[in-house]
Amino acid sequence: SFPPSFLQPLVLSPPSRPHHSAGGLISNIRALHVLSDSIISWYRSHPSPPHALLADFFLGWTHSLCASLGLPRVVFYPSGAFACLLMNSMWRDAPHNPE
């Protein structure tokens, strides 16, 4: 078992959004991208920076963040395994347009 201090979350204040709308999820995802500069500053100034980043599937911008810091990125995908397999199969075996 790992010591209790093995995982330490970094909690940042979410950026403000101009208004709530039907596209709230997408605007939240875009707004969170603003946090990348704060994360980079924190990482470079921390005496013991993390060895990896755990990110939600929808936070694709963390890929470039981790690439710039040389960190591995572990993606949390909260959907069921069957849904993932189904989407993968549909994408892999999609009919090809002959044009």
Let me know if residue 38 belongs to a domain.
yes
Under the banding of pLDDT at 50, 70 and 90, the label for residue 21 is low
Let me know if residue 12 belongs to a domain.
no
Q: Residue 51 sits in which domain range?
A: 24-92
> What is the greatest pairwise CA distance in the chain?
58
Let me know if residue 11 belongs to a domain.
no
Let me know if residue 68 belongs to a domain.
yes
Let me know if residue 74 belongs to a domain.
yes
Let me know if residue 87 belongs to a domain.
yes
- Residue 65 and residue 36 in contact, taking contact as beta carbons nearer than 8 Å: yes
22, containing H or E segment: none
Q: How many domains does the chain have?
A: 1
User: Tell me, what's the pLDDT at 66?
Assistant: 95
- The predicted-structure confidence for 58-91, as pLDDT tens digits, reads as follows 888 999 999 999 999 999 877 777 888 888 888 8
- Residue 64 and residue 85 in contact, taking contact as beta carbons nearer than 8 Å: no
Q: What is the pTM of this model?
A: 0.62
Let me know if residue 97 belongs to a domain.
no
Under the banding of pLDDT at 50, 70 and 90, the label for residue 19 is low
Distance in Å from the first CA to the final CA of the chain? 57
Let me know if residue 58 belongs to a domain.
yes
| Residue labelled with tokens 């075996």 | 93
Closest CA to 32 of 5, 68, 6, 56: 56
